[in-house]
DNA sequence: GCGCTCATGTCAGGTACTGACATCACTGTA
DNA sequence: TACAGTGATGTCAGTACCTGACATGAGCGC
């Protein structure tokens, strides 16, 4: 007889997204999420630092794609390196995840507290990319600027990708947005 | 005999900054801030939506400077309009406020929760600027890009302005940062 | 078999935040 | 001058988030 069902963390994340989508973030208690997953509130806080984090855990792997993308690029021009990293990061969002991403973003867009957390994560991504670029020998200011631009491109591309009716892959959308940025800056 | 001392809001803000600087954000309770200001916890929450907001109230006026700066500019080029708005906004940070700004930023930099709130405010500023530019007839994508760049310039300039040993005014620093951005993009 | 590990449960408590109602100096008006 | 209304504050009770300390018991190595 097994004492605990496996996958507690994943069950909590699924239960949270489902409840948030149905009743809103504020209208859902942590105890309720835990109960839906067959666990207790205390266990929830052992897996996630706070109530909001349940929607953002997994970001680490996403950031790692950017880091390895920067480190593995053969380019020397900062924006070209960033473009390679953006390309590598699209692997985190295959088309099968589009519906899930859309639902998750809908929940985030409905709550300022969740938007705060998202901004903090993206800010952390920019910091990480800046560091990676500087380790490649890029000038500090140029590195920060290129990293911020890269994050901006990702944001716009991601929003487009999950928009109703959009059918292109994230990689395709991202290439188009990057091209648009280049023509605007020129 | 007066029933209440005037300036409750300002007293709460001053007490909060002083306590946060001395014991950290987490190490300070709202009840403690209120008591320092000669008030109760309940009154604190009548003036500020939450504990973090006590450090960010006043942002509205700052944003208004950007808006009027955009609306009042005679330029037509998006980045030139943004430059004018940046210039107008420096009025919010005269040299007399440098020490206070430095103390406040030190508190924010020490707490992730406060950084989240700061990012949300800056994101709101970018949204406001984007709207202002679009009302001036600027293309949507160009407006968003120019607004984001403007916020980025402000962030870098502000960080430089409050750095130890810096003596130039915020307006001077900001002009230098903007020039650097222009040369990088070119 | 036997003890160790470790994910989970239980319990008590602190702090952030909110709604409902009370207080009372001040202000305008008859 | 009396008196009703206003509005900032206080009091109190309650909910939800989050944490520390300790208990439980199936699985695993020896």
**Tens-place pLDDT, residues B127-174:** 999 999 999 998 887 888 889 889 988 998 999 999 999 999 999 999
Burial class of B48 by CB neighbour count within 10 A (0 to 12, 13 to 18, 19+): buried
pLDDT digits 0-9 by tens, A98-120? 999 999 999 999 999 999 999 99
Query: What average pLDDT is seen over chain B?
Result: 93
Residue B183: what pLDDT? 73
Query: What is the CA B179 to C1' D1 distance in angstroms?
Result: 71
CA distance A141 to A20: 40
The partner residue sitting opposite A120, judged by closest CB among B115, B142, B145, is B115
Residue A87: what pLDDT? 96
Confidence at B1, pLDDT banded by 50, 70, 90? low
One-character DSSP codes across B97-141: GHHHHHHHHHHHHT-HHHHHHHHHHHHHHHHHHHHHHHHTT--HH
Is A19 (CB) below 7 Å from strand C? no
Nearest to A50 by CA among A100, A4, A16, A6: A16
Q: Which residues of B touch A142 (CB under 8 A)?
A: 184
Count Cβ neighbours within 10 Å for each residue of A16-49 and write b for 16 or more, e otherwise. bbebbeeeebeebebeebbebbebeeebbeebbe
Q: Which residue has the tokens 């993009």?
A: B185
Which of A30-34, A92-96, A139-143, A172-176 has the weakest average pLDDT? A139-143
- pLDDT-above-70 percentage for chain B: 98
* Alpha helices in chain A, H assignment, sequence order: 8-23, 30-36, 41-47, 59-72, 78-89, 98-109, 112-135, 140-161, 170-185
Confidence at A1, pLDDT banded by 50, 70, 90? low
Which of A148-152, A167-171, B61-65, B88-92 has the weakest average pLDDT? A148-152
Nearest to B143 by CA among A111, A156, A143, A150: A156
Containing B155, the helix (H) or strand (E) segment is helix B140-161
This prediction has a pTM of 0.93
CB atoms within 10 A of CB A73: 19
Question: Does residue A125 surpass a pLDDT of 80?
Answer: yes
Q: Does A119 contact B123 at a Cβ distance shorter than 8 Å? A: yes
Q: Does A141 contact B184 at a Cβ distance shorter than 8 Å? A: yes
Average pLDDT over residues B113-120: 97
Terminal-residue alpha carbon distance, chain B: 66
Longest dimension (CA), chain A: 66
At residue B112's C-alpha, the angle toward residues B94 and A98, to 5°, is 115
Question: Does residue A183 surpass a pLDDT of 80?
Answer: no
- pLDDT-above-70 percentage for chain A: 98
Confidence at A67, pLDDT banded by 50, 70, 90? very high
Average pLDDT over residues B110-124: 97
Residue A140: what pLDDT? 83
Is A76 (CB) below 7 Å from strand D? no
Q: Which residues of A touch B123 (CB under 8 A)?
A: 115, 119
- pLDDT-above-90 percentage for chain A: 77
Confidence at A71, pLDDT banded by 50, 70, 90? very high
Mutate to test the interface with A, among B51, B78, B116, B176 (most CBs of A within 10 A): B116
Residue A181: what pLDDT? 78
Burial class of A14 by CB neighbour count within 10 A (0 to 12, 13 to 18, 19+): middle
Nucleotides of strand D within 7 Å of the protein's CB atoms: 8-13, 16-21, 25-27
Cα separation values, B11 from B39, B105, B148, Å: 9, 19, 34
> Alpha-carbon torsion B57, B61, B62, B66, what sign?
positive
Burial class of B137 by CB neighbour count within 10 A (0 to 12, 13 to 18, 19+): exposed
CA distance B141 to B154: 20
Residue A186: what pLDDT? 64
Q: Give CB contacts under 8 A, 24+ apart, made by A173-182.
A: A174/A86, A174/A87, A174/A90, A175/A87, A177/A153, A178/A83, A178/A86, A178/A153, A180/B141, A181/A149, A181/A152, A181/A153, A181/B145, A182/A79
Residue B40 touches chain A, beta carbons under 8 Å: no
Residue B142 touches chain A, beta carbons under 8 Å: yes
Question: Which nucleotide is nearest to A51 if distance is taken from CA to C1'?
Answer: D17
The tokens for A60 are: 């680490």
Residue B152 touches chain A, beta carbons under 8 Å: yes
Among chain B residues 37-76, those with CB within 7 Å of any atom of strand C: 41-42, 45, 49-52
Average pLDDT over residues A33-41: 97
Question: Does residue B79 surpass a pLDDT of 90?
Answer: no
Is A167 (CB) below 7 Å from strand C? no
Q: Does B120 contact A123 at a Cβ distance shorter than 8 Å? A: no
CA distance B31 to B49: 15
CA distance A143 to A136: 10
Is A30 (CB) below 7 Å from strand D? yes
CA distance B116 to B108: 9
């Amino acid at each position: 007889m097994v004492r605990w069902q496996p996958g507690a963390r994943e069950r909590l994340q699924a239960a949270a997204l489902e409840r948030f989508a149905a009743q809103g973030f504020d209208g859902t208690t942590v105890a309720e999420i835990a109960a839906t997953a067959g666990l207790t509130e205390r266990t929830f806080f052992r897996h996630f630092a706070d109530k909001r984090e349940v929607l953002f855990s997994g970001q680490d792997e996403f950031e790692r794609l950017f880091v390895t993308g920067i480190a593995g690029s053969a380019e020397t021009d900062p924006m070209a390196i960033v473009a390679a990293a953006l390309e590598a990061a699209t692997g985190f969002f295959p088309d099968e995840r589009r519906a899930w991403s859309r639902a998750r973003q809908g929940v985030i867009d409905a709550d300022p507290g969740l938007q705060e957390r998202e901004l903090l994560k993206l800010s952390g991504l920019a910091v990480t990319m800046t560091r990676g670029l500087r380790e490649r020998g890029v000038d500090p200011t140029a590195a920060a600027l290129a990293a911020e631009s890269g994050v901006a491109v990702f944001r716009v591309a991601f929003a487009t990708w999950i928009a109703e009716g959009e059918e292109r892959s994230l990689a395709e959308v991202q290439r188009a947005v990057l091209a648009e940025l280049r023509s605007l800056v020129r």
